[in-house]
Structure 1
Amino acid sequence: MKFETKYLIRWGIPGWILIFWVFYQVLFLKGINPLDSKFSDIKNGLTLLISLTALGVPIGYLLHQIYFGVAWVLNKNRHEAVKRNARQVSPNFPRHPQWGRNGDQDYFQFEYVWHAVLLNLDVEKRTYIEGRYRHLLSTIHGLGSLFVSSAISLLVTALIIFTHLPEAPFNLYFWTGLVFQLAIFLSAVFNYGYFSNNLTAFQIKMLKTYL
């Protein structure tokens, strides 16, 4: 897969999901039948589809940035996790002189050691470890963006419910959609935790083996 296509899909999916759920909830709550509207016309429908598809990519990119900023840049728990992971690797883990005083620098040092270890491996081992690491990290970031997208769509749904209380309780399709929204949200949460733990364990075991 080409670089551009890969990242367009990664950023597009969260945006498309958010747009889909907002449209879904509004259409069914308002009782709008797309087949009876002006968008049932092929030309209008295709124009709308192309527009929403294009719009989903920048929205997804922004959702990805929100996730990355909150879960990685501003997350102070990550700093403690780095120190804990270093201790698990070895009591003699290569630490920089200011270790423990700056969480970001600790993380950069941990990543530096990780990549230095990879560079010292033979090509076959390095290729396998890099591929596995890239897959896990990419999956984590994808799930993180999906989590943010699902969380925002649920907030929008909650807002729709509170502003349309007379209609909401009697719309089966609306509540069916909400159940699916919750299922996707919870799946993203649990899968994010699973793959994060998987990546941490993989990285620690490899550093223990080759450091």
Structure 2
Amino acid sequence: MKFDTKYLIRWGIPGWVFLLSILFLYGTYHSSFIKVFSSDPIKLLSFVVAVASIGVPVGYIFHQLYFGLFWVMSKTKGVKYITKHIEGYQRKFPNDVDEEYYHLEYLWQSELSLLEQTKRDYIAERYRHLLSTTHSLGVLGVSLFWSFIVSLYVFKKLEMTFEDRFTYGTIIAGMVVLIFLNYLYYSEKTQAFQGMFLNEFINDKERNKERKQQQN
């Protein structure tokens, strides 16, 4: 069975970020934790391999959490933001946001398939880049958020001073906010991109129909 390495990286990064942020915090306040590995290269190598291996399934779980909370459950916002950019758009399924979202995806793929190759490839590649960036930021934000939550427990176990807790907590919380602001920006940019091109596809087709009818 072939396994695409891009999935290893995609799932691994959020998992590795989560594990390393916790291990960094723990290692900083437990010098013996660092000494054990610095004095034994075999243990260090085994530890790195273990973290790398565990990080992939952990990151995969974060992916599922992200898609469930921020993508699947936010289709209402997505439909509104996409259709907002389509002039005169009438919803096909006004009482079913899931079906409306699937319909928009169908229109998107259907209209792309009718374009000449150069334009189709450009739009598809640009959309893929925006969507991939959106998802990467969303998953990373979920990973850092859980790093912050677990850190609260680690703070208690390590009996850290208030100043150290505040410093480390502020850094992680600030990163979470920054990542999610970037996520919101790219999410809206992706949906606007899709909506504007759908507007071009749909309304240009309607205008061309009207012109032909007028000429006949």
Same fold (TM over 0.5): yes
What is the identity, as a one-letter code, of the residue corresponding to 2:23?
F
- The CA distance in 1 between the partners of 2:182 and 2:67, in whole Å, is 17
Return the TM-score normalized by structure 1: 0.85
Matched, 1:58 2:52: no
Moved over 6 A (4+): none
**Cα drift, residue 178 of structure 1:** 3.9
Mark the runs of 5 or more structure 2 residues left unpaired by the alignment.
203-216
- Please give the alpha-carbon distance, in whole angstroms, between the structure 1 residues aligned to 2:168 and 2:32: 15
- Amino acid of the residue matched to residue 179 of structure 2? A
Q: Using the TM superposition, name which of 109-118 and 181-190 deviates more.
A: 181-190
1:51-200 matches, cutoff 5 A? 51-75=50-74, 78-93=75-90, 95-96=91-92, 99-165=93-159, 167-169=160-162, 171=164, 177-200=168-191
1:170, distance to aligned residue in structure 2 (A): 6.2
Change in Cα spacing, 1:80 to 1:38, as seen in structure 2 (3 Å) is closer
Q: Is the 8 A contact 1:83 1:100 kept in 2?
A: no
- Go from structure 1 to structure 2 and tell me whether the alpha carbon gap of 1:17 and 1:29 turns closer, same or farther (over 3 Å shift): same
Give how far 1:187 is off: 2.1
Distance of 2:135 and 2:110 partners within structure 1: 23
Displacement, 1:84?
A: 4.9
Q: Partner residue of 1:41?
A: 40
Higher Rg: 2
Gaps of 5+ in 1: none
Contact 2:81–2:192 (CA under 8 A) maintained in structure 1: no
Distance 1:9 1:114, change over 3 A: same
With normalisation by structure 2, the TM-score equals: 0.84
The 1:209/1:102 distance shift into structure 2, 3 A limit, reads: same
Aligned residue-pair number: 201
CA contact (8 A) 1:79 1:106 kept: no
